[in-house]
Amino acid sequence: MRWTRWEAGGARRGAWILMAGAAASLAASAQNPQPVPAAPAARSVVVIDAAHGGDDTGGHLSDGSYEKAATLALAVRLRSLLGARGFQVVMTRESDATVNPEQRATIANRANPQACISLHAAETGSGVHLFASNLTPVAVTRFMPWKTAQAGWLTRSLALTGVLNSALQHAGTAVTLGRTALPGIDSMTCPAVALELAPERDTDKKLTAEPDNPDYQARVAAVLATALLEWRTEQANMGARQP
Amino acid sequence: MIPRLQAVLFFILVIASLIMGAVLFHMREKAHDRMLAGQDAAPTQAPQVTAPEQARLSVASDDDNALRPQAYSLPLPVDPGARAKAILGKLLDLYASPDALHPVPGGAASVAQVFLLPAHTNAAGATAQKDSGDELAVINLKGSFAASHPSGLETETLTVLSICDTLHANLPRVTEVRFLVDGQVRESLAGHADLTRTYLVADAERTDVAKP
């Protein structure tokens, strides 16, 4: 009986401690508001941004096609592969439509995704060029400036770039890394990477595939899907480790 | 018989005509001399030949997305704005050469002007003191350069960063760079690199993904 009473008393004490703790944390958060990025949705969301479109043709590729067509084709391939792996995919455009950088960032930010991939294509360089924003990382605050909102997510964007880089290099794709100022990416509040698909070249720099080559795109999309699966696992483990 | 009065008047008019003709002839000669003198006063001074100086250019390479410092000996003007223009002209001449690792047509003529103004922020991004001496370089590019620049994230970013890094290497007080095209603000260089923002020299140094 005493043990039961003690247990009951302990439970009451525990409840009081929990309530006090909750009240203290509420007061602390009111004094020092430090909003953290919202937790990803239960089903992992990936935003695929096929760059350019509509009036904005992007660059001309060597075979005369437009960059906007190559990015959309790659985006559709990647969407299929990610969908098959259980991702919820949000596209910034699904047709040859004009979407400005602000609209792209708005679509991405509303989806609250685990990753945002902006797809580009170019006729210069070789392999895959991965870019993160060149903003200076800052802590996330309640209100982030629109043009530099990505600064709060930059550390995670760089981590995502590392995961994509490892997967692409493991698959034998030439990768160059960089930082850039890109209006759409700089306003995204998610781990964001700009990926530019350049022509595939052999060791003698001889062209083996254009960026709009279906086989080349399929190979790169498969590697990206695998890398994003790994990224999702990493994020889930990080979430599990958090108290 | 001609009256005496008319004869006197006739001679007076003849003498007056001769005098007026002589005056006009004299004035014409003077005007001609003035014109020749004006032509002689045209600036025909030979350009001053300055001693070549070392300039450090950050030359971009598309192969590995890198900027490589290269030293060149150039005759550079004393005026900082003209000096910046000459250095950037040399950089763009390298990109216009047939064997360039970062091929961009246009060459030195692509830089219309470079203006140097007091900067608002320092290299770290904080607001600069009024007397800090930091400068903002405003580079006015020609529209033909932007129109002919290859489109792509990597190539456009390399052009912008190599210009920023080259300017800072040779004019250390330049901590910020802004770009105009034909005197107007332009959204992007060729569809990718943002030209509406002010670039800090730290941007050019922060090209490596491993350095957040």
Instruction: Report pLDDT digits (tens) over A187-201.
Output: 999 999 999 999 999
* Cβ atoms of residues A192 and A108 within 8 Å: yes
Euclidean distance between CA atoms B99 and A52, whole angstroms: 31
Nearest to A61 by CA among B191, B196, B65, B67: B191
Query: Contact A176/B64, CB-based, under 8 Å?
Result: yes
Distance of CA B93 to the CA centre of its chain: 15
**A172 φ/ψ sector (left φ>0, alpha ψ -120 to 50, else beta):** left
What token pair was written down for A104? 């792209």
* Rg for chain A, CA atoms, rounded: 22
> Cβ-count burial of A17 within 10 angstroms (0-12 exposed, 13-18 middle, 19+ buried)?
exposed
Q: pLDDT tens, A93-115?
A: 999 999 999 999 999 999 999 99
Model confidence pLDDT, tens digit, residues B152-190: 999 999 999 999 999 999 999 999 999 999 999 999 999
- Using CA atoms of B19, B23, B24, B28 in order, give the dihedral in degrees to the nearest 10: 150
**Residue A83 C-alpha, separation from nearest chain B C-alpha, in angstroms:** 28
Is the pLDDT at A242 greater than 60? The verdict is no
Residue corresponding to tokens 């239960």: A42
* Token reading at A110: 């509303």
Q: What is the pLDDT of residues B50-59, one digit of tens each?
A: 778 999 999 9
Rounded to a whole number of angstroms, the distance from the CA of B73 to the nearest CA of chain A is 29
- Judged against a pLDDT cut of 70, whether residue A53 lies above it is answered with yes
Sign of CA dihedral B196, B201, B204, B206: negative
Q: For residue B161, give how far its alpha carbon lies from the nearest alpha carbon of chain A (Å).
A: 9
Q: What is the mean pLDDT of residues A228-239?
A: 89
Q: Looking at the partner chain, which of B155, B190, B209 has a beta carbon nearest the beta carbon of A158?
A: B209
- Please answer yes or no on whether B153 and A129 come within 8 Å at the CB atom: yes
Q: Are strands A128-133 and A175-180 parallel, antiparallel or unpaired?
A: parallel
Q: Residue A183 and residue B139: Cα distance in Å, rounded?
A: 20
- Give the residue extent of every domain in chain B: 1-38, 53-204
Alpha-carbon Rg for chain B, nearest whole angstrom, is: 30
Using CA atoms, how far residue A181 sits from A85, A117, A140, A194, B183, in Å, is: 31, 15, 19, 10, 21
Say which residues have a Cβ less than 8 Å from residue A172's Cβ, sequence separation at least 6.
none
pTM: 0.76
SS3 A42: coil
Distance CA A114, CA A88 (A): 10
Q: Give residues 61 to 90 of B whose Cβ lies within 8 Å of A.
A: 62-65
Query: What is the pLDDT of chain A when averaged over all its residues?
Result: 85
Pick among A131, A134, A153 to test the B interface (most B CBs inside 10 A)? A134
